[in-house]
């Protein structure tokens, strides 16, 4: 029995689906984060956990699967090389989650994809070819992402406590919750991207002046990236990820912004089935 596995793994969670040759979904599963660049062993465990859920009741095993895994951090070849021998699938193709998300969102059409979640990544698809931009991780990139927004909020809280900028209700609340300057520094020194990103919902939908300032700067940065990708000709833009709708709402009218056709899992399954 030949079945296809599509996996979409990011900094917050991992989603998997198993389909037959006609594209009919036979099972789905979810598990924890699968950013292969930050945690190879944990990513592998979560990929296999989601896969086992998706296989339940099918009578198949992982060895029956032709898999395409779209994973955060898969642009780091050393991490992919560590992961590959740990996987039990009949055939495995590992690409970045930007590739699978783009294929799922745009199908086979041309366009620009902006994945705005815990991390962020951008992609340009033309004539079926996908090129990724950004997605360099929390420390060096991930513009406009939840983790970067959260980090900016904590930095603003410290600056306000030092008197460099005006204190706001949100900044004071963050300081109180984390235990003042020392608590913020301690949190920042050990927090994972997903923990920074937990502050993002309080930024993108708040009336607090600091939140509005932080989000406006992020929107401007994301808009500049998309404008650069538009230089080769006008293309539709699709936003996905938990923060995607917030950016789409702020940038609507600048470009042809469309809803995604499908998910990263859909894109992974499409690539797997096209590979035969």
CATH architecture of the region 3-107+261-274: 2-Layer Sandwich (3.30)
The DSSP secondary-structure symbol of 205 reads T
Edge-to-edge strand order for the sheet containing 129-133? 129-133, 120-126, 111-116, 237-240, 257-258
**Per-residue model confidence (pLDDT) at position 157:** 98
Q: Which CATH superfamily is domain 146-258 in?
A: ATPase, nucleotide binding domain (3.30.420.40)
- In this prediction, residue 134 carries a pLDDT of 86
Contacts of residue 163, Cβ cutoff 8 Å, sequence gap at least 6? none
β-pair type (65-71, 91-96):
parallel
> What pairs with residue 69 in β-bridges?
7, 94
Q: What is the pLDDT of residues 74-127, one digit of tens each?
A: 988 999 999 999 999 999 999 988 889 899 999 888 999 998 988 898 999 988
CA gap 165, 203 in Å, rounded: 17
- Sequential pLDDT tens for the chain (276 residues): 789 999 999 877 999 999 998 889 999 999 999 999 889 999 999 999 999 999 998 999 999 999 999 998 898 899 999 999 999 999 999 998 888 989 999 988 899 999 898 889 899 998 878 888 887 888 888 999 999 999 999 999 999 999 999 999 999 999 999 999 999 999 999 998 889 999 999 999 889 999 999 999 999 999 999 999 998 778 999 998 889 999 999 999 999 999 999 999 999 999 999 886
Residue 138 in 3-state DSSP?
coil
DSSP string across 228-271: HHGGGS---EEEESTTHHHHHHHHBTTB-EE--SS-HHHHHHHH
Strands (E), the chain: 3-9, 14-19, 25-31, 65-71, 91-96, 111-116, 120-126, 129-133, 237-240, 257-258
Burial class, 246, CB count within 10 angstroms (exposed 0-12 / middle 13-18 / buried 19+): buried
Q: Domain extents for the chain?
A: 3-107+261-274, 146-258
pTM for the predicted model, two decimal places:
0.79
- Cα-based distances in Å from 122 to 12, 197, 256: 18, 18, 16
């Amino acid at each position: 029995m030949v079945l296809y596995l599509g996996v979409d793994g990011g900094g917050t969670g991992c989603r998997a689906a198993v389909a037959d040759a006609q594209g009919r979904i036979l099972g789905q599963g979810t598990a924890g984060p699968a950013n292969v660049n930050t945690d190879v062993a944990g990513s592998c465990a979560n990929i296999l956990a989601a896969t086992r859920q998706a296989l339940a009741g099918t009578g198949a095993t992982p060895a029956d699967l032709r898999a395409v895994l779209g994973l955060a951090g898969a642009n780091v070849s050393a991490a992919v090389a560590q992961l590959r021998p740990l996987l039990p699938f009949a055939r495995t193709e590992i690409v970045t989650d930007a590739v699978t998300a783009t294929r799922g969102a745009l199908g086979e059409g041309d366009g620009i994809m902006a994945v705005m979640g815990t991390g962020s990544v951008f992609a340009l698809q033309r004539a079926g070819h996908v090129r990724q931009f950004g997605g360099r991780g929390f420390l060096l990139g991930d513009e406009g992402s939840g983790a970067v927004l959260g980090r900016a909020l904590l930095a603003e809280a410290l600056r306000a406590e030092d008197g460099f900028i005006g204190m706001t209700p949100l900044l004071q609340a963050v300081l109180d919750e984390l235990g003042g300057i020392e608590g913020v520094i301690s949190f920042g020194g050990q927090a994972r991207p997903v923990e920074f990103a937990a502050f993002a919902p309080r930024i993108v939908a708040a009336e607090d002046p600091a939140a509005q300032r932080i989000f406006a700067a992020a929107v401007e940065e994301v808009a500049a990236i998309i404008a650069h990708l538009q230089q080769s000709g006008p293309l539709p833009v699709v936003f996905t990820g938990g923060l995607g709708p917030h950016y789409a709402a702020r940038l609507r009218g600048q470009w042809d912004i469309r809803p995604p056709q499908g998910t990263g899992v859909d894109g992974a399954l499409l690539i797997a089935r096209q590979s035969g």
